[in-house]
Structure 1
């Protein structure tokens, strides 16, 4: 844990000094919410569309902010120092922890604002189910993007290549996340006596298993990606 904590704190200090990820992601989130609010101001947006837009924003927020996870080392020429002094497992876990924390905060702020702009009554939303689905889904997104960021850090087309590589891998997670979000929003609940937690339980389990698999595979492959 000492090595993981050191990498995590390094990421926090670097971001606090440069604010590259925060400024880029912040501008994207504010711009996206503003455009959605203005474009759909007088439209009757369904709950299903609102749930899908939450995951669209989560994907592109990750693509905007998490792509620099290993780019800063490649640009500054400090990647060799990390290879010599940091264990690959500690390095990946530290980077993942920072990316997950950043994305969790952003998604926690974005989702309620988006629902308010789309005139979705928050009192009818099962906040517990929605929070659980978003939290587990965010961990899955952070795990995949952290590994893909290391893979494309040495290429020239980093941003576009990162999203292109990560999205196909995340399709199962997005499907389960959207199904869980539908349960939290009460979509399709009229024909069942089950609670939102019971309806979303299978999808949350799927998300949890996917996240565990993504983390385990990333830790297994990262040594080859980072050193080769």
Structure 2
């Protein structure tokens, strides 16, 4: 990839980062959602000991919906502010896609870290016995969530029911990633070995490895419409 392309990608990424830090609306809403959801779960299960499988499933429900709340704004904000046309004129489709993708990966990783920390803090009896598996799961999960939904956020940007449509379209595409993520999370809680986690790690890597180039190929047609 040429230096000029990298600079344009960084420019889009930097624009989104500065815009989010300036308004802080989306991040504040997502943090409130995460805190409220985890607190309600903790209150509901106050007298119950959550087993590793159930805990892994609940954590991934939180990760999924926090990502839906954050990533859905990637292209919707451009339509709302009327800046989509400026991006089409002044930069390449490649820069727009990869700049948005990088921002979404960073956002997902931040949300996943915060969600996991809050979840473990409130569920104090839950112990991560294999921290490396848990950390790798969060990294690959962030990559997968972003790569699986960046294109969808471009598709729904002009729809009338953006909020409802985004998770409906995203869930079937993200299902393989979620299943693998739950498996890895459960292993990290149970103290499983890396050999047990290998197949799920490979699935999550392959998932992003297939979806990123496929989404990039399709992005030109969607963005130019």
Shorter-chain TM-score category? over 0.9
Task: Identify the residue that residue 171 of structure 1 maps to in structure 2.
Answer: 175
How far the C-alpha of 1:110 sits from its partner, in A, is 1.5
Is 1:201 the counterpart of 2:205? The answer is no
Q: Once the two structures are superposed, what CA deviation does each residue of 1:40-59 show, in whole Å capped at 9, x if it has no partner?
A: 12212111111111111110
Counterpart-to-counterpart distance in 1, 2:64 and 2:126: 24
Counterpart-to-counterpart distance in 1, 2:224 and 2:98: 16
Task: Identify the residue that residue 133 of structure 2 maps to in structure 1.
Answer: 129
Task: Identify the residue that residue 218 of structure 1 maps to in structure 2.
Answer: 215
Task: Identify the residue that residue 89 of structure 2 maps to in structure 1.
Answer: 84
The answer to whether the 8 Å contact 1:40/1:118 transfers is no
Query: Which of 81, 103, 106 is the equivalent residue of 1:101?
Result: 106
- Normalising by structure 2, report the TM-score: 0.93
Residues 132-143 of structure 1: pairs in structure 2 closer than 5 A: 132-143=136-147
Residues 28-107 of structure 1: pairs in structure 2 closer than 5 A: 28-107=33-112
Counterpart of 2:72 in 1: which secondary structure? Answer: helix
Q: Once the two structures are superposed, what CA deviation does each residue of 1:168-226 show, in whole Å capped at 9, x if it has no partner?
A: 00111111111112221127x5xxxxxx2110011101100001111111111111110
Q: Unmatched 5+ residue regions in structure 1?
A: 190-195
How far the C-alpha of 1:98 sits from its partner, in A, is 0.9
Q: Once the two structures are superposed, what CA deviation does each residue of 1:68-93 show, in whole Å capped at 9, x if it has no partner?
A: 10111111211111111111111111
The answer to whether the 8 Å contact 1:50/1:115 transfers is no
Tell me the matched-pair count.
220
Query: Which of 25, 28, 31 is the equivalent residue of 1:26?
Result: 31
Q: Unmatched 5+ residue regions in structure 2?
A: 1-5
* Aligned residues: CA RMSD: 1.3
Query: Which of 1, 8, 13 is the equivalent residue of 2:13?
Result: 8
